[in-house]
């Protein structure tokens, strides 16, 4: 019984690993059931036994990919120290995961834009996942007086834009450089370099630090 269970688990893991490799190399659209099964050295019956359908497989593949990020963000949120410090640590977990998983993340967003059902469902579900934890931390940081008062989503959008918007701009500037090759290369380097990302985050956090005696309650 144990040997059979181990074999089933191993086949499932092989299929998920094969699917992830295909996504990274060619994108979600290229990931067919037959392609995944062949890459994993499994037959179609095994795929159907473990996942039932391609949509169910894609949904689980995304969840397995996302799971470690949620664990990392949750650990930072639940750590010690002031709320503002935990907020910074949690956002840096997002930064590091985005750097590590840059290709898969890009494929996921593109798949959702192209109508991949599981990718769309996942992105729709995100508001109830790690962003909710970050919003709670923003509220706590505001309550402790280390962040400007205002709508927590507005504050979080400002912080995340400082981290992610340059990367989106750099990613969008493929093909002929809009402002010359040198400027495009420099933007790409600054946008993706971790030290520069951390610097932008710290600038944004300092910009949201309330001045002593200055009440900036909701406007």
Q: Residue 86's domain is classified under what CATH number?
A: 1.10.357
The residues, any chain, with a CB within 8 Å of residue 186's CB and separated by 6 or more, are none
CA 79 to chain centre: 20
Of 32, 52, 72, which closes a domain? 52
Residues 98 and 191 in one domain: yes
Question: Are residues 189 and 86 part of one domain?
Answer: yes
For 159, half-sphere exposure in the C-beta direction (CA atoms, 13 angstrom radius) is: 29
Given 34, 52, 70, the domain boundary residue is 52
Task: Answer whether residue 128 is part of any domain.
Answer: yes
User: Are residue 132 and residue 195 in the same domain, yes or no?
Assistant: yes
Where the chain has pLDDT below 70, the residues are 1-9, 171-180, 212-219
Residue 101: count other Cβ atoms within 10 Å of its Cβ: 17
pLDDT of residue 7: 46
Position 166 in a domain? yes
- For residue 196, being part of any structural domain is answered with yes
User: Is 157 found in the same domain as 109?
Assistant: yes
- Same domain, yes or no: 149 and 68: yes
**Integer Cα distance of 219 and 216 in angstroms:** 8
- CATH number of residue 43's parent domain: 1.10.10.60
pLDDT attached to residue 9: 56
What local confidence, expressed as pLDDT, does residue 179 receive? 59
- CA 41, 44, 48: angle at the middle one, nearest 5? 120
13: tokens are: 């893991």
pTM of the model: 0.86
Count of structural domains within the chain: 2
- Domain span at residue 12? 1-52
Identify the DSSP state of 29: G
């Amino acid at each position: 019984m144990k040997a059979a269970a181990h074999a089933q688990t191993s086949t499932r893991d092989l299929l998920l690993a094969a699917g992830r490799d295909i996504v990274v190399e060619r994108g979600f659209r290229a990931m067919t059931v037959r392609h995944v099964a062949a890459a994993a050295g499994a037959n179609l019956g095994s795929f159907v036994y473990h996942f039932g359908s391609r949509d169910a497989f894609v949904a689980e593949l995304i969840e397995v990919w996302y799971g470690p990020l949620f664990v990392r963000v949750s650990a930072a949120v639940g750590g010690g120290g002031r709320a503002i410090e935990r907020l910074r640590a949690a956002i840096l977990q997002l930064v590091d995961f985005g750097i590590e998983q840059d290709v898969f993340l890009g494929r996921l967003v593109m798949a959702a834009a192209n109508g991949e059902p599981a990718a769309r469902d996942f992105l729709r579900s995100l508001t109830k996942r790690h962003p909710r934890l970050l919003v709670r931390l923003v509220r706590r940081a505001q309550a402790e007086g280390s962040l400007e008062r205002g709508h927590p989503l507005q504050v979080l959008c400002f912080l995340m834009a400082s981290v992610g918007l340059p990367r989106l701009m750099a990613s969008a500037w493929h093909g002929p450089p809009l402002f010359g090759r040198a400027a495009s290369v420099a933007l790409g380097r600054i946008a993706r370099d971790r030290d520069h990302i951390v610097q932008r985050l710290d600038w944004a956090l300092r910009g949201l630090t309330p001045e002593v005696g200055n009440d900036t309650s909701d406007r």
